[in-house]
Amino acid sequence: MSKLKEWIDSMVAGAPFGRHLGMKCVTLEEGRAVFEMPFADHNVTVGEMVHGGAIAALVDATATAAFWHTEKLPENPRGSTIGFTINYLNAAMAAALVCEAEVIRRGGSIHVADVWVRDDKGEPIARATVTYKLSAGRK
């Protein structure tokens, strides 16, 4: 599983967009991931309000890590987010964000995660449901 953690650190949080947003994977367990995203001026929309798109990207990356972190990865795995619903509950004002994703359903290749985003004071910022396809790739 340590190679998978390295892959998630480099290809999910460490992807160019993830690095731009400042994402960092802080916890990774079977079907669960926690990412952080610091407050940064380039992540805002108006004043000091974190942009909803930055929050959505954090949700997607965190859920992706949770889906991939499993002992039951298919051979030559391939994955993609196929559905995403997010409800913004509060504005994130000049705040670092913590995002937690937990896989709540693993199907044959379609999986679902429940995701929460909170600010650095623990206030809820957003709640999302992410649907993901993770299947065996071509050889």
**pLDDT tens readout for residues 38-92:** 999 999 999 999 999 999 999 999 999 999 998 888 888 899 999 999 999 999 9
Spatial distance between the Cα atoms of 96 and 3, rounded to a whole number of angstroms: 28
Spatial distance between the Cα atoms of 95 and 14, rounded to a whole number of angstroms: 21
The total number of structural domains that make up the chain: 1
Spatial distance between the Cα atoms of 78 and 136, rounded to a whole number of angstroms: 6
- What's the first-to-final CA gap in the chain, in angstroms? 22
**pLDDT tens readout for residues 113-125:** 999 999 999 999 9
- CATH number for the domain that contains residue 54: 3.10.129.10
Other beta carbons within 10 angstroms of residue 116's beta carbon come to 18
Domain assignment of residue 33, given as a range: 2-136
